[in-house]
Chains A and B, each alone.
Chain A
Amino acid sequence: MNAPAPGRPRSLGASLLDQVLAETLDPAYAQAAAARAERARAGGDGTAGEHGWLGRRRGQLLVALTLLVAGLLASIAYGQAAAGQEGREQTRSALRSDIADQSDTADDLVAQLEALTAQVSRTRAQALEVSAVGQHALDELAAAEQGAAVVAVSGPGLQVTMDNAPPAAESDPVGGSAEIAQAGIVQDGDLQLAVNALWASGAEAISINGQRLGATSAIRQAGQAILVDLHPVTAPYVISVIGDRDDLRNRFISTPEAKSLARLTKDYGVVFDYARADELHLPAGTGAELRSARPLDPDEDAATTDPGTGTPDPTPDGG
Chain B
Amino acid sequence: MIPILGLAIGVVLGLLLDPSVPLWLQPYLPIAVVAALDAVFGGIRARFDGIFDAKVFVVSFVSNVVVAGLIVFLGDQLGVGAQLSTAVVVVLGIRIFGNAAAIRRHLFRA
A residues within 8 Å of B by Cβ? 20-21, 24-26, 28-30, 32-33, 36, 53-54, 58-80
Cβ contact of B56, chosen from A26, A58, A68, cutoff 8 A: A26
Q: Digit string of B12-42 for contact with A (CB within 8 Å is 1, else 0)?
A: 1111001101000010011011001101101
Q: With A and B bound together, what is the CA distance between A75 and B62 in angstroms?
A: 18
Whole-angstrom CA separation of A80 from B20 in the bound complex: 8
B29 and A72: CB pair below 8 A?
A: no
Closest chain B residue to A84, Cβ basis: B26
CA distance A79 to B14 in the complex (A): 8
Whether A66 touches B58, Cβ cut-off 8 Å, given contacts A21-B98, A72-B14, is yes
Which B residues have a C-beta under 8 Å from some C-beta of A?
2-15, 18-19, 21, 26, 29-30, 32-33, 36-37, 39-40, 42-43, 45-46, 49-62, 65, 91, 94-95, 97-99, 102
Q: Are A73 and B33 in contact (CB under 8 A)?
A: yes
Check B11 against A75 for contact (C-beta < 8 Å): yes
Closest chain A residue, CB of each to CB of B52: A29
Please tell me if the beta carbons of A79 and B51 are within 8 angstroms of each other in the complex: no
Assembled-state Cα–Cα distance A29/B99 (Å): 13
* Complex Cα–Cα for A28 and B55 (A): 10
A29 to B52 alpha-carbon distance, docked (Å)? 6
Residues of chain B lying within 8 A (CB to CB) of residue A68:
6-7, 9-10, 13
Given the known interface contacts A25-B46, A66-B58, A75-B14, the answer about A80 and B21 at a Cβ–Cβ threshold of 8 Å is: yes
Partner of A64, one of B2, B26, B42, B56: B2
Contact A66:B57 (CB < 8 A) given known A26-B42, A29-B49, A77-B30: yes
Question: Which residues of chain A are near B95, meaning CB under 8 Å?
Answer: 20, 24
Residue pair A21, B54 in contact (C-beta under 8 Å): no
> Are B3's CB and A60's CB within 8 A?
yes
Contact status A67-B45, CB under 8 Å: no
Q: Which of A25, A62, A70, A79 contacts B7 (CB 8 A)?
A: A70
* Bound CA–CA A80/B29 (angstroms): 9
Q: Are A25 and B98 in contact (CB under 8 A)?
A: yes
- A44–B102 Cα gap in the complex (Å)? 33
Nearest CB of B to A282, in Å:
55
By beta carbon, the residue of chain A nearest B6 is A64
Interchain CB contact under 8 A, A24 and B9: no
Which one of B11, B51, B94 lies within 8 Å of A20 (CB-CB)? B94
Given contacts A66-B57, A67-B10, A71-B13, 18 further A-B contacts (CB under 8 A): A21-B94, A21-B98, A29-B51, A29-B52, A32-B56, A62-B54, A64-B6, A65-B6, A68-B7, A68-B10, A69-B10, A69-B36, A70-B10, A70-B61, A71-B9, A72-B10, A75-B14, A76-B29
Taken together as a complex, chains A and B put the C-alpha atoms of A211 and B56 apart, in Å, by: 75
Roughly how many angstroms separate A68 CA and B61 CA in the complex, as a whole number? 12
User: Which residues of A lie under 8 Å from residue B21 when comparing CB positions?
Assistant: 76, 80
